[in-house]
Amino acid sequence: MTDTAADPAAPLACWCCGAEKPESHLLRLGARPEAAVCGECAIHLRQRARALGNRRAVARHLHNAANRFREAVISAGLHNRPGIGPALRWINRRSPF
């Protein structure tokens, strides 16, 4: 293993793809300065992070919509009606929201 402190121009490996690049072409991760990724991998990681954030936003939106619907059903008293009440309670018990 080479000592990069002695030779700053020596190529380093990207922690994501393993490609050897000079230090000037790598991005250091803030909380983990020993970890460095190349520009292509940084773009890929940003896209993955955005997709994860979007999934969370959609799930949060669905959860809020389900809560609003649940509150509307309860305020209207529909959960106590003989025909629709048991079906609504069945859906509520099995809902992931």
Residue 22 lies in a domain: yes
Residue 7 lies in a domain: no
Read off the pLDDT of residues 15-26 as tens digits, 9 standing for 90 and up: 999 999 999 999
pTM of the model as a whole = 0.52
Write the DSSP assignment of the chain as a string of letters.
---TTT-TTS-EE-TTT--EE-GGGEEE-SS-TT-EEEHHHHHHHHHHHHHHHHHHHHHHHHHHHHHHHHHHHHHHTGGGSTTTHHHHHHHHHH---
Residue 1 lies in a domain: no
Total domains in the fold of the chain: 1
Tell me the mean pLDDT in the region 57-71.
88
Read off the pLDDT of residues 40-60 as tens digits, 9 standing for 90 and up: 898 888 888 888 888 888 888
Q: Is the pLDDT of residue 2 over 50?
A: no
Residue 3 lies in a domain: no
**Domain limits at 17?**
12-94
Residue 54 lies in a domain: yes
Residue 6 lies in a domain: no
pLDDT band at 8 (very low <50, low <70, confident <90, very high): low
Residue 20 lies in a domain: yes
Percent of the chain with pLDDT over 70: 90
